[in-house]
Copies of this chain bind each other. A is one copy, B any other.
Amino acid sequence: MNTSFYFVLLLFALSNKRYNFAKIFLCCAVLQRSIDMDFRTGANKTNERVHLEPSQLREKHISSFQGESEEKEKDTNSEILVANFSNIYASDLLPTRNGEELTDQFLLEVVEILLNYIKKTYDGKSKVLDFHHPHQLLEGLEGFSLELRDQPEPLEQILVDCRDTLKYGVKTGHPRYFNQLSSGLDIVGLAGEWLSAAANTNMFTYEIAPVFVVMEEILLKKMHEMVGWGETDADGIFSPGGTISNLYSVLVARYKRFPEIKTKGMAALPHIALFVSEHSHYSVKKAAAVLGIGTDNVIAVKCDERGKMIPSDLEAKILKVKRQDHIPLYVSATAGTTVYGAFDPLDNIADICEKYGLWIHVDAAWGGGLLMSRKHSFKLNGIERANSVTWNPHKLMGVPLQCSAFLVCEKGLLQACNQMCAGYLFQPDKQYDTTYDTGDKTIQCGRHVDVFKLWLMWKAKGTRGFEILINKSLELAEYLYKELNSRENFELVFDAEPELTNVCFWYIPPNLRRIPNGPEREKLLHQVAPKIKARMIEEGTTMVSYQPHGDKVNFFRMVFSNPATRKSDVDFLLEEIERLGKDL
């Protein structure tokens, strides 16, 4: 029965002055209404939107949790869940017959947990992390046991586990999380990942991933265009991370010069050498180890004080290798080094590569995003002369992990280098254009769909939207640089305006300022950053990375890539470092 029905009867009774009947109908209406009330605060509030569920869900969140401690919140929530899922198991969900409703309810409970987490992530006042040691997690924490059993656990427990997994993790989207080159939590990108997970397919053939395979082609063309290669010969692949993308570059460069490598191996090749700068990422060395080239054959080229490769040293080292009758094969120039955020002089390096016939790869994993910015893209001038490029949208562009593109200028090389023509996967007698079966271009077989989130973000932001975010991150780096210059307890590792968002600095505690420069002070300074970082993690207020580099003792490396970060967060970081380190 609907309350409206009783209202009609009530009106009828009133208009006929049958007041006793009217009272009965009114009681019925009230009773019915109390059944309809949903036991839920705020469910009947007026709402301006056509779709009410989202905000109702949100209102419920707020009304249940606002102003309560994290511990209390967890308990409240657990109690509610007991009513729902304590006797329900995974086997009750789809594909079990009639499992539809429970499936929806379960997934929406999970989503509610995630929405709550997202809000906390963006709440600058919440903690970045709630640190526990490995042995504590292994032993189990307040009902959070990681142990796996023979018997299933009810979905209620699964939901509690989801909440606990997030609780004891790190909020990498928090405005004060500065620990890695990848940070932030883009909402459209997240939606893209959720959809990719539901689509649950594999990039190896067009047959089973038609839309995603075409999206990959479109993204690669777009990125080629931005690199400055033109569209025609677009080739490349999205790979599981920048290190694998850089591995592809060495693999393809080697194959291009010595195609016999594929069948005969390194035994058929002369002694080859690869060149990278001292400041480059370790991935080229790793590739040399994996590919059977050997790390000894990766020659480190000197950098200037700012961390940029010195072209004359590159040329000298190429000549030295040639004098040893070895083959200088490949240079990896970095556009945005990991620690200093430096850009190697690409044009000068390309000149040398042309002169001596070397493959030039540009590792723009970190700095590639600047190609989106009309203001900053000049820093990558010369990239159009590269033979291959690594560019990770999961870094400066804020795409969820992982999303790394390996781009190669010459079409067909990847395919020739890697194809094995497995009959069970790449049947040549399919009814569609099998050049879209891209799986044989890769060193993988199955490949995760990493393109959709990037494609969706690009649609939602436009190139200009990425530009705005990236420019903003660079402004924050400039702001930090100026702040550091003006504060007496901080010292810059190198005094130059940031080219990317990296800013490297020491905090000098008062006690240390009294000690003159020299080995004693260096030794003490080396211990400052780790101690502050340890305290920072224990308190969970912010996260920033530190490292030694070359002859420099441990220093902090700040990077910006999170659109949630504001100047006040930068101020907070500096004050927090002072607060945590002033007694050292």
Contact = CB atoms under 8 A, between A and B. Distances in A.
Contact of A195 (B3, B90, B108, B162): B162
B14 A23 contact: yes
Given A198-B185, A401-B446, A459 B210 contact: no
Nearest to A549: B423
A552 to B, nearest CB: 10
Contacts of A93: 187-188
Contacts of A264: 294, 296
Q: How large is the interface on A (under 10, 10 to 19, 20 to 34, 35 or more residues)?
A: 35 or more
A52 B58 contact: no
A423 B215 contact: no
B445 A108 contact: no
A444 B433 CA distance: 33
B282 A294 contact: no
A430 B531 CA distance: 8
Contacts of A202: 180, 182, 401
Contacts of A213: 134
Contacts of A137: 210-211, 214
A30 B9 CA distance: 13
B294 A198 contact: no
Contacts of A394: 446
Contact of A55 (B51, B105, B404, B444): B105
Contact of A138 (B110, B214, B432, B546): B214
A293 interface: yes
A29 B14 CA distance: 15
Contacts of A52: 38-40, 43
A295 B201 contact: no
B266 A175 contact: no
B267 A266 contact: yes
A72 interface: no
A146 B104 contact: no
A219 B185 CA distance: 27
Contacts of A106: 54, 187, 191
B292 A291 contact: yes
Interface in A46-91: 46-47, 49-58, 60, 80, 83-84, 89-91
A316 interface: no
B146 A463 contact: no
Contacts of A423: 547-549
A305 interface: no
A169 B211 contact: yes
B104 A57 contact: yes
Given A58-B100, A111-B194, A152-B462, A95 B175 contact: yes
Nearest to A247: B443
Contacts of A11: 26
Interface string A1-30: 011000100110010010100110010011
Contacts of A228: none
A292 B132 CA distance: 43
Nearest to A420: B282
Nearest to A20: B14
B108 A50 contact: no
- One complex includes copies of this chain to the number of 2
Nearest to A171: B199
B111 A286 contact: no
Contacts of A100: 58, 119, 122
A523 interface: no
B132 A170 contact: no
Interface string A110-143: 1111110111001000000101111101100000
A243 to B, nearest CB: 4
Interface in A161-202: 161-162, 165-166, 168-170, 172-173, 175, 179-180, 182, 185, 187-188, 190-191, 193-195, 197-202
A262 B289 contact: yes
Given A83-B49, A150-B463, A444 B170 contact: no
Interface string A309-352: 00000000000000000000000000000110000000000000
Given A108-B111, A151-B462, A459-B158, A432 B134 contact: yes
Given A36-B46, A197-B194, A201-B170, A427 B546 contact: yes
Contacts of A56: 53
Contact of A294 (B261, B444, B530): B261
A537 interface: yes
A114 B292 contact: no
B197 A197 contact: yes
Contacts of A391: none
Interface in A444-464: 444-448, 452, 455-464
A459 B161 contact: yes
A473 interface: no
Contacts of A295: 262-263
Please give me the 10 A-B residue pairs with the lowest Cβ-Cβ distance, nearest first. A292-B292, A265-B294, A266-B266, A95-B564, A193-B197, A54-B105, A431-B534, A266-B292, A90-B460, A54-B108
9 contacts: A95-B563, A114-B198, A117-B198, A146-B214, A150-B462, A185-B200, A243-B445, A263-B289, A292-B292
